[in-house]
Structure 1
Amino acid sequence: MSTSKFKPPMRNGVSASQVYLPKLKTQPETLLSYLAEKFPHISVQQWQQRFQDQLIFDENAQTLNVDSRYLENSHIFYYRFLEHEVHVPFQEQILFENEHFIAVDKPHFLTISPTGQYLQETLLVRLKKATNNPDLTPIHRLDRETAGIVLISKCLETRGIYQQLFAEQQVHKIYHAIAAYRPELSFPQEVNLRMEKGQPFYTMRVTQGETNSCTQIQCVAHNHMWAKYQLQPRTGKQHQLRVHLNHLNIPIKNDPFYPTVLHKSASDFSNPLQLLAKEISFKDPVSQKEMHFTSLKELTIE
């Protein structure tokens, strides 16, 4: 297998995607026909447009076209683009930066990384454009619907060290959420559940078996209808906090997934999920200093 040493530059904050062309029993006639078959969710017309816009090139930085041959055991690069992308009218805020990472206060409705219908309107591409740093990579994740503190790696050399902190649960996280108040529930309490992939595929469900998710929950204020909860996850399962509160029959206010999946338009920025990654603290593995970051955002009971 060839290894490409060429590293394409960013274009408008977007890093190029790399595709390896393997040796096949039946070799495609053109590169276009291979890409159309390999990525069926992208139409032939879209691939033709990318070739026309000179967004596809080989490992020698040569621009490719719709007639370019399929060259086995080589790499090609292409840039993603979206013809129509909804602008997210909320701004992220950088709270801290050193040579290793950035601590960012993310708004609701902003996806962290390019995916599906989101490209320019993602936290990562916005930050790459602002810093001109193609090596930016999320150290951990927040849902598009969740606001608050996110850490972004700035350099390859130390990225794994910081990611390992999260993998080994050495990061202390505090979330705030607004959900229904139920006087019969006793707090503080610890919720331990087994969570697995649900239906639709982007949701999670509670199942029987050994627990794999743990959250400590406190009620910090209420007005007899709504309450503000402080959540401290001990594990990091997808949608953990949303599933745990829903399991207690107090789903987070404005949750579009739990208990019922509601399909909102990408341009509907009303009723944000009332979940905020309020604080993150950890011992920096490089400087050995205690780090603590707090979101400037606040959730309020109405």
Structure 2
Amino acid sequence: MGCVRPPPSLPPRFGLDPARMRLPVSDEWATVRDHVVGRVPLSPAQVDAMFAAGRFHDQHGPLPIDAPYVSGGSVWFHRDLPDEAPVPFAVEVAFREDRVLVADKPHFLATIPRGRHVRETALVRLRDEHGLPDLSPAHRLDRPTAGVVLFVIAREDRGTYQNLFRDRRVSKTYEAIAPYRPDLGTPQVVRSRIVKERGIVTAREVDGEPNAETLVEVLEYRDDPALGAIARYRLTPHTGRTHQLRLHLCSLGVPILGDTFYPRVRDVGLDDFRAPLQLLARTLSWPDPRTDEPVTVHSRRRLQAWDDPAGWAAGP
């Protein structure tokens, strides 16, 4: 009863595995239904309707409403999904081989399901579009950030690739569009201590031993009629703290264009796809775990504020 994988009778829906509910070792409940009523935030009538529709399964198939409670067992079901604003941009495949897939993620698409974003995530779309039910990310990009993200195709390979990131054997470069300051002095290495507190959307820099490091370089700059003096920056992070690149450019006095968190939080609707954050994960490099040969993947995306500044500036 305690198998980890979902039962064959309840396949993924929209690329999402069903939720697993473990049944505690107890004789407190006579039926599975009695236990479910106390576990899920639904009325008894809603739970009964789900049983009637065959939505609760064990490893043998759908459970009837009077199915006896099995101490230590498991039950699977698909949760109701939140209403989501469709993200009108495709997630593309930049690289694929037998063990990994590198997605070229658009702005506004979250990497994995979380909170109000479930179906409109790169993971769910890729699982559904490419028939890869066990696909999982080896790392993540923030929802506003576009660019390359590494996914692992098979469950048994997940740890191998996650360990590459843990051991800092993966190299990443980003590009950003931000104001240009001739007095900035680049290339420059920015080091600071960044903390992110649970329940607070922004991270912050505090005094103390640095735990975040970014190499900042100016690739080119110009005076633009719509945006003023702007530059295209290359950012090479040597650590991976939450919002590290956004904080480090902001601390230099050149916040990334389109940033709704730094230097101040701005309220923008989830269905407002104008003026995306001008931050792009440009390259991703790692040693192949089998051969140790280097693999490098490049994003094919472009940052709008550099290519079409007037169009980008027409946003909010």
| TM-score, structure 1 normalization | 0.89
Shift of 1:185: 1.1
Task: Check 1:125–1:51 CA distance in 2 against 1; reply closer, same or farther (3 A cut).
Answer: farther
Shift of 1:176: 0.2
Equivalent position of 2:219 in the other structure = 220
Q: What is the percentage of aligned positions where both structures have the same residue?
A: 36
Shift of 1:95: 1.7
Task: Check 1:76–1:290 CA distance in 2 against 1; reply closer, same or farther (3 A cut).
Answer: same
CA distance in 2, matches of 1:205, 1:296: 31
The answer to whether the Cα contact below 8 Å between 1:6 and 1:59 also exists between their aligned partners in 2 is no
The answer to whether the Cα contact below 8 Å between 2:22 and 2:74 also exists between their aligned partners in 1 is yes
One-letter amino acid matched to 1:63: L
Q: Are 1:236 and 2:240 matched, yes or no?
A: yes
Shift of 1:46: 6.6
Aligned residue for 1:77, secondary structure, equals: strand
CA distance in 2, matches of 1:230, 1:246: 15
Q: Are 1:86 and 2:88 matched, yes or no?
A: no
One-letter amino acid matched to 2:54: Q
One-letter amino acid matched to 2:191: N
The answer to whether the Cα contact below 8 Å between 2:82 and 2:118 also exists between their aligned partners in 1 is no
Shift of 1:52: 5.2
CA distance in 2, matches of 1:48, 1:110: 35
Shift of 1:141: 0.4
Shift of 1:208: 1.1
Shift of 1:98: 1.0
Q: Are 1:275 and 2:282 matched, yes or no?
A: no
One-letter amino acid matched to 2:23: L
Equivalent position of 1:16 in the other structure = 18
Equivalent position of 2:136 in the other structure = 137
CA distance in 2, matches of 1:161, 1:208: 35
Aligned residue for 2:231, secondary structure, equals: strand
One-letter amino acid matched to 2:241: K
One-letter amino acid matched to 2:63: T
Aligned residue for 1:252, secondary structure, equals: coil
CA distance in 2, matches of 1:21, 1:3: 9
Deviation string 1:110-167 (CA, Å, 9 cap, x unpaired) is: 1111112222211111111122221100011000110000111001222211111111
Task: Check 1:6–1:281 CA distance in 2 against 1; reply closer, same or farther (3 A cut).
Answer: closer
One-letter amino acid matched to 2:282: K
Deviation string 1:161-187 (CA, Å, 9 cap, x unpaired) is: 111111111111110001111222110
One-letter amino acid matched to 1:58: D
One-letter amino acid matched to 2:109: L
| TM-score, structure 2 normalization | 0.85
Task: Check 1:25–1:131 CA distance in 2 against 1; reply closer, same or farther (3 A cut).
Answer: same
Shift of 1:10: 1.3
The answer to whether the Cα contact below 8 Å between 2:112 and 2:124 also exists between their aligned partners in 1 is yes
Ranges in structure 1 where 5+ consecutive residues have no aligned partner = 37-41
Shift of 1:274: 0.5
CA distance in 1, matches of 2:275, 2:109: 14
Deviation string 1:202-247 (CA, Å, 9 cap, x unpaired) is: 3211111111111000011222521111000000111111111111
User: Which region of structure 1 is more displaced relative to structure 2, 87-96 or 42-51?
Assistant: 42-51
Equivalent position of 1:39 in the other structure = none
CA distance in 2, matches of 1:46, 1:83: 16
CA distance in 1, matches of 2:180, 2:192: 21
One-letter amino acid matched to 1:255: D
The answer to whether the Cα contact below 8 Å between 2:193 and 2:209 also exists between their aligned partners in 1 is yes
CA distance in 2, matches of 1:182, 1:28: 70
Across the aligned residues of Structure 1 and Structure 2, the Cα RMSD in angstroms comes to 2.3
CA distance in 1, matches of 2:235, 2:141: 15
Counting only pairs closer than 5 Å after superposition, residues 164-179 of structure 1 correspond to structure 2 as 164-179=163-178
User: Aligned residues, how many?
Assistant: 295
The answer to whether the Cα contact below 8 Å between 2:123 and 2:136 also exists between their aligned partners in 1 is yes
The answer to whether the Cα contact below 8 Å between 1:17 and 1:78 also exists between their aligned partners in 2 is yes
Ranges in structure 2 where 5+ consecutive residues have no aligned partner = 224-228, 310-316
Counting only pairs closer than 5 Å after superposition, residues 184-199 of structure 1 correspond to structure 2 as 184-198=183-197
One-letter amino acid matched to 1:104: A
Equivalent position of 2:182 in the other structure = 183
Shift of 1:56: 2.5
Q: Are 1:254 and 2:253 matched, yes or no?
A: no
Equivalent position of 2:313 in the other structure = none
Q: Are 1:60 and 2:64 matched, yes or no?
A: no
Counting only pairs closer than 5 Å after superposition, residues 289-300 of structure 1 correspond to structure 2 as 289-299=293-303, 300=305
Task: Check 1:187–1:7 CA distance in 2 against 1; reply closer, same or farther (3 A cut).
Answer: same
User: Which region of structure 1 is more displaced relative to structure 2, 154-163 or 141-150?
Assistant: 154-163
The answer to whether the Cα contact below 8 Å between 1:32 and 1:68 also exists between their aligned partners in 2 is no
One-letter amino acid matched to 1:129: D
The answer to whether the Cα contact below 8 Å between 1:58 and 1:64 also exists between their aligned partners in 2 is no
CA distance in 1, matches of 2:254, 2:140: 24
The answer to whether the Cα contact below 8 Å between 2:172 and 2:284 also exists between their aligned partners in 1 is yes
Aligned residue for 1:190, secondary structure, equals: strand
